[in-house]
Amino acid sequence: MLLLRTAFKNILGGGKRTWLNVTVLSFTFVIMVAYNGILDGFLEEARRETQRWETGAGQIQHPEYDRYDMFTLQDAHGVAPLSLQTYLADKSMTPILILQAAIYPQGRFQNILLKGIDAGQNILELPTAKLRHTGTEIPVIIGQRMAGLADLKEGDRVMLRWRDKQGVFDAQEIVIAAVFKTKTTTVDAGQMWINITDLYAMTGMQDEATYLVKSENCPVVSDIDNWSYKDLKYLLADIDLMAKSNQTESFIIFAILLAIALLAVFDTQMLSIFRRQKEIGTYVALGMTPKRVSGLFTLEGTSYSILAVLMAAVWGTPLLYLFAQTGMKMPEVYADMGMGMSDAIYPAYHVSSIMTSIIVIVVLSAIISYLPARRIAKQNIVFALKGKIN
């Protein structure tokens, strides 16, 4: 307690130098928290959007299906196992049937993925209600990116060509029933969504699916009859990978910022030990062991970071709160990278992340303060008392 009190008293007595160090450290701390908040917010938002639009709470995939290999689509379809029919019936699971197809907008040929989905599903955000028939025309829905790529808009008609179950080509005009807006590119670009009942009729693949999307209420969490269960960890692996890559970038930024801030602390500590020789000697003369004085100086250096955390709490809290409310506008280009994103990223501050930042700053300050302070224990106190550097 005495050391802590003395350390705080000494650094508060240090005046401008102390406050300069504390300000730089607090700035670093706030940047760390804000940046971590953005990363966490970015990750959470991407995960949330992708779940809402694409993955649901998990998927049961046909044994042949590999989402990274389009050539598997030809064989990756079949009737879902009997044990899953209950969930399909109560709509806690919805089937998706994927086929390779082509469209001819304005006479141009364009390959697409034709995805059949139940018009009455309510697991994914896709506006599938628009797939219900109002006439004889087959309605499809597409995303904004697909609409842009194919130069299509709501109400447009376009020729669709596909292969049926026997591999025979067939073609029919379809109508764009709706153009939806989503940041999840993986359900948008190069794809058309069609009522799965229409797709069954068009292909003869009655009751077949490439994969089944499950809702939160569906209890299935394991492989069933060779159909493999894919959890969110697998389905969102790309996002996690990107988050990890961002974490590396952020680590480099933090390292640079911290290095600058801690260099200031180190410099102050070194200077203190040279300038405060008499004081060091006096502490020993008054009854402290040199090791304890060394501990005092280490604590002084560490106290900069404690003060910095307090200062950061004062000016950083309202700023970070405001930032969390306004969010950070994201350029469209981010969404084109294939991640489900909303228009703005809202930072998510987690206690664990903040605590980690605090611990990192305090521990590194302690280490950086100890390095010069350990010299004290080896000093000649008689020289120190006279103010001689030794």
Partner 1 sequence: MQPIISINGLVKTFPVGNGFFCALNDVNLKLGTGEFVGLVGPSGSGKTTLLNIIGSLDTPTEGKAEVLGHSIGELTAKESAALRNKDIGFIFQSYNLLPVYTVYENVEFPLLLQKMSADTRRKAIMEALDWVGLTNKEQSRPSQLSGGECQRVAIARAMVKRPAIVLADEPSANLDAKNSHNILQTMRKLNEELQTTFIFATHDEKVMQYLKRIVYLQDGEVERDETVNQPNRNE
Q: Which two tokens stand for residue 297?
A: 């100086």
Residue 131 or 384 having the CB closest to partner 1:
384
Q: Is 301 a residue that touches partner 1 (CB under 8 A)?
A: no
Q: Report if residue 10 touches partner 1, rule: CB under 8 A.
A: yes
Kindly state the smallest distance separating residue 365's Cβ from partner 1, in Å: 20
292 belongs to the binding site for partner 1 (CB under 8 A): yes
Check binding of 388 to partner 1 (CB under 8 A): no
Residue 376 makes contact with partner 1 by CB under 8 A: no
The residue within the footprint of partner 1, chosen from 287, 329, 351, 378 (CB under 8 A), is 287
From the list 136, 116, 144, 137, the residue with the least C-alpha distance to 128 is 116
Range 249-278, binding partner 1 (CB under 8 A): 278
Q: Which is nearer to partner 1, 118 or 279 (CB)?
A: 279
Q: Which stretch binds partner 1 (CB under 8 A): 240-248, 279-287, 341-349, 356-364?
A: 279-287
For residues 277 and 274, what is the distance between their CA atoms, to the nearest angstrom? 6
Is the distance from CB of 117 to CB of 128 less than 8 angstroms?
A: yes
Selected from 281, 295, 316, 372, the binder of partner 1 by CB under 8 A is 281
User: 202 vs 293, which CB is nearer to partner 1?
Assistant: 293
Identify which range of 139-147, 176-184, 284-292, 336-344 contacts partner 1 by CB under 8 A: 284-292
Interacting span for partner 1 (CB under 8 A) from 10-18, 38-46, 260-268, 300-308: 10-18
Question: How many residues at the interface with partner 1, by CB under 8 A?
Answer: 23
- Nearest residue (CB) to partner 1, 20 versus 79: 20
Q: Using the CB atoms, write b or e for 27-61: b if 16+ within 10 Å.
A: bbbbbbbbbbbbbbbbbbbbbebbbbbbbbbbbbb
Does 9 interact with partner 1 (rule: CB under 8 A)?
yes
Q: Which stretch binds partner 1 (CB under 8 A): 33-41, 42-50, 149-157, 289-297?
A: 289-297
Contacting residue, 235, 284, 311, 368, with partner 1 by CB under 8 A: 284
Candidates 122-130, 188-196, 288-296, 332-340; binding stretch for partner 1 (CB under 8 A): 288-296
Of the ranges 5-13, 88-96, 310-318, 367-375, which one interacts with partner 1 (CB under 8 A)? 5-13
290 interacts with partner 1 by CB under 8 A: yes
Task: Note the residues at the interface with partner 1 (CB under 8 A).
Answer: 2, 9-10, 12-14, 278-279, 281-282, 284-292, 381-382, 385, 387
